[in-house]
Amino acid sequence: MPPRVVVVGAGPVGCVAAAELASGGVDVTLLEASLELPRELRASTFHPATLDLLERFGVVDKMVQRGLIAPRFAYRDRRQGVVAEFDLTALADVTDHPFRLQCEQFKLCEIMLNKFRSMANVAVRFGAEVVGIVDHGGSASAQLASGEMLAADAVVAADGAASAVRKSLGLAFDGMTYEDRYLVLSTPFEMADHLADLAYVNYISDPEEWLVLLRTVDLWRALFPVGDDETDDEALSDESAQRRLQGIVARDEPFEVAHRTIYRVHQRVADRFAVGRVVLMGDAAHINNPLGGMGMNGGVHDAVLLGASLAAVLRGDLGADRLAHHAQLRRNLAIDYVRRQTHDNAQSLAAPDSADRQRALDLMAARAADPDKARSYMLQASMINAKDAMRAELEEVGVFKTG
C-alpha cells in the first residue's frame, strides 16, 4: 500500500504540495473547506525561481497562456517618473524564466485541480473543513467539521493564515502587525496610455501616498496604504477609490473599479514547521508584507521542498531527521530572507521622512545603473538566491537539478 497524506487547504500551496506528494508515490486526499475554489484577487506575481520549481509539474506553459510576462520592474517617484528599472532578462543564464509572471494565484489552483482529475492518486474534497488534528507520532488524523476522522500517515497544513491545524497543535505564531492596512483597487482603465514608460510592476514613492501599481491580464491593480485616520468603510468608499485613482491619472470621468479589498498586514512565523507527522507550509507557517510578492512564492518553495522530503520519508528513502532539518531550513528562510526583504521594501517605500525616502530611491537608482549591483539585487528580488539557499536539500530529495 502506498503511504497516504491528507493535505488541508486547496490554495496555491496545498495544490503544489499535493502535486509534489503524488509525484513522490503518495496517495493524497486534498481537503478544501470552501464549496468551490476561492477565486478572490490575492497574490498575482510568480517569481522566476518559483516558475523554475513549478516547471516539473508541467503547469508553467498553461500559466503563461493565462498570464502576462513581465521582464521589467521599476521604482518610480510620482513626480520624477522612473527612478530605477530592472530587467530580469539579464538573469537568463541562471533561470529558465527570466521574468515575473503576472498571473492570479487561483489560476495556478485551477490548472492543478484540473490535472488532479486525471490522477488516480489524488482525491479532492470540497466542503471539507478540518477542525483539528491528532498527531499519533508515526501517523496523524484530521478531524472534519462533520465529525468524520481521516487517518493518514501524515498531514500537511496548507490551510492559510488562520490555520486550524496550527491552532490545534498549539503552535505560537509570533511577530508583528503593521499599523497601516492595505487597500487594493483594480480598474480596467489603461494606465500605461497615460504614464510614460510604465512597467507591469511598479513601486511608486510619494511624500503623501506611496503605491504599488501592477498589471494583470485584464486589470491594473493599485495597492495603497491606509492610515488609522480612515475606517475600512471610508477607505473602501467610492469617494476614496476615485480620489486615489485620480491621484495616479487625473481624468474627467470616474474610474471603473472592478475590485476593491482592504486587509491588515502582518509578519509572523510559526515556532515550528514540522511536528511529528504534521508539516506546516505557506501562510499557515508564515505570513509577511505582500510588497515584493514573496508570501505565496515562499509558500510554493515550502511545498516543493517539504512535499518531496515528506514523500521520501514516507517511502523510507530518507530519515525523519532530514524532514526536520528541511522544515527548519524553510523556517530560517522565511525569517532571514522573506521577512527581511519584504520589510525592507515596505520601509523604503513608506519611510515617513522624505530625506530617508529620497535616500532609498537614490540607492535603487545607483543599483540599477551598475550592472553588477543590479544583478545582485535581481537575484535577491527574484528569489533565485532563496532557491539556491536550498540547492543541496532540493538535490537530496531529488527535486531539482540546479544550473
Ligand X SMILES: Cc1cc2nc3c(=O)[nH]c(=O)nc-3n(C[C@H](O)[C@H](O)[C@H](O)COP(=O)(O)OP(=O)(O)OC[C@H]3O[C@@H](n4cnc5c(N)ncnc54)[C@H](O)[C@@H]3O)c2cc1C
Task: State the nearest-atom distance from the C-beta of 263 to ligand X, in Å.
Answer: 4
Task: State the nearest-atom distance from the C-beta of 29 to ligand X, in Å.
Answer: 11
Residues 38-77 that bind ligand X (CB under 6 A): 38, 42-43
What are 41's three cell numbers?
Answer: 484577487
Asked if 12 is part of the footprint of ligand X (rule: CB under 6 A), the reply reads yes
Cα 150 from chain centre? 29
The CA distance from 363 to 378, in Å, is 14
Helix axes 295-315, 12-23, angle to 10 degrees: 30
* DSSP β-bridge partners for residue 286: 269
Among 5, 6, 11, 199, binds ligand X (CB under 6 A): 11
**Angle ∠(269,307,170) on CA atoms, nearest 5:** 35
The CA distance from 73 to 194, in Å, is 18
Quote helix, strand, coil % in the chain, to nearest 5: 40, 25, 35
Cα atoms in the Cβ-side hemisphere of radius 13 Å centred on 380 = 15
The CA distance from 29 to 130, in Å, is 12
Asked if 14 is part of the footprint of ligand X (rule: CB under 6 A), the reply reads yes
Task: State the nearest-atom distance from the C-beta of 274 to ligand X, in Å.
Answer: 16
Asked if 33 is part of the footprint of ligand X (rule: CB under 6 A), the reply reads yes
Residues 163-222 that bind ligand X (CB under 6 A): 164
Residues 103-162 that bind ligand X (CB under 6 A): 105, 129-130, 158-160
- Among the residue ranges 36-44, 91-99, 148-156, 267-275, the one whose residues contact ligand X (CB under 6 A): 36-44
User: In this complex, which beta carbon is closest to ligand X, that of residue 31 or of residue 394?
Assistant: 31
Q: What type of residue sits at position 386?
A: A
- Among the residue ranges 9-17, 168-176, 203-211, 375-383, the one whose residues contact ligand X (CB under 6 A): 9-17
The CA distance from 80 to 17, in Å, is 44
Task: State the nearest-atom distance from the C-beta of 15 to ligand X, in Å.
Answer: 8
Distance (Å) of CA 305 to CA 290, 348, 373, 396 = 22, 31, 29, 10
Task: State the nearest-atom distance from the C-beta of 190 to ligand X, in Å.
Answer: 21
The CA distance from 16 to 303, in Å, is 6
Asked if 307 is part of the footprint of ligand X (rule: CB under 6 A), the reply reads no
Asked if 34 is part of the footprint of ligand X (rule: CB under 6 A), the reply reads yes
Task: State the nearest-atom distance from the C-beta of 28 to ligand X, in Å.
Answer: 14
Asked if 293 is part of the footprint of ligand X (rule: CB under 6 A), the reply reads yes
Burial of 363 (0-12, 13-18, 19+ CB in 10 A): middle
Task: State the nearest-atom distance from the C-beta of 34 to ligand X, in Å.
Answer: 5
Task: State the nearest-atom distance from the C-beta of 93 to ligand X, in Å.
Answer: 26
Task: From 255, 146, 240, 279, select the one nearest 191 (Cα to Cα).
Answer: 255
Lay out the site mask for ligand X across 217-256 (x = CB under 6 A, - = otherwise). Answer: ----------------------------------------
Task: State the nearest-atom distance from the C-beta of 314 to ligand X, in Å.
Answer: 21
Among 3, 6, 22, 32, binds ligand X (CB under 6 A): 32
User: In this complex, which beta carbon is closest to ligand X, that of residue 77 or of residue 159?
Assistant: 159
Q: Where does this chain bind ligand X (CB under 6 A)?
A: 8-14, 31-34, 38, 42-43, 105, 129-130, 158-160, 164, 261, 263, 282-283, 290, 293, 295-296, 299
